[in-house]
Amino acid sequence: MKVETTNMKSQIAVAIKKTAVNMDSMMAVINEDVEKLMAYLSEHGKQLVGAPYLAYKNPNEDWSQFDIEWGVPIDEAIPVKGEFFMSQSYEGKALTVTHKGAYKDLEKAYNALMDYAKENSLESTGIYYDYYLNDPSDTPESELLTQVVYPIK
């Protein structure tokens, strides 16, 4: 798996945040939030201008539970209410890997990034991103592309 170093550019996004999400409930939470976010964008006449992302924050020691932020990039801020808020994705230096295949196999990408960071004495910011580069509703699981971003200090 090829690890690259890049400078990420920040994007504004409409987002939803959930706390203490465990791996067993992750997909159900994500699916529910995607539907809500897409409906909210449609309600405001907005379209995605980049890949939707899932930010993982505050992982526990064994990485089985996180606070997550599901964001959809848009071109300009919109009024927000309720559980929706305006956010910005990470800007700065990061390690990246593009994973091809099932989401359940993303751990391989994370392991490659963490191994690379350790071998090169690089320190994580503590937040991790998955950018979903194609749509699972019309893409075979074996062809799904996810850019995994490991922001570093």
- What is the edge-to-edge ordering of all strands in the sheet holding 4-8? 4-8, 92-100, 145-151, 128-132, 53-57, 65-73, 12-22, 85-88
124: number of CA atoms within 13 Å, CB side?
Answer: 19
Question: What pTM, to 2 d.p., does this model score?
Answer: 0.92
117: number of CA atoms within 13 Å, CB side?
Answer: 21
pLDDT reported for residue 151: 97
pLDDT reported for residue 138: 93
pLDDT reported for residue 62: 78
Structural domains in the chain, CATH included, are 4-151 (3.20.80.10)
On whether the CB atoms of residues 148 and 128 are closer than 8 A, the answer is yes
CA separation (Å) from 70 to 1, 18, 120? 25, 9, 30
Q: What is the pLDDT along the chain (153 residues), one digit of tens a residue?
A: 899 999 999 999 999 999 888 877 877 888 888 889 999 999 999 988 999 999 998 877 777 788 999 999 999 999 999 999 999 999 999 999 999 999 989 999 999 999 999 999 999 999 999 999 998 889 999 999 999 999 999
CA distance 3 to 11: 22
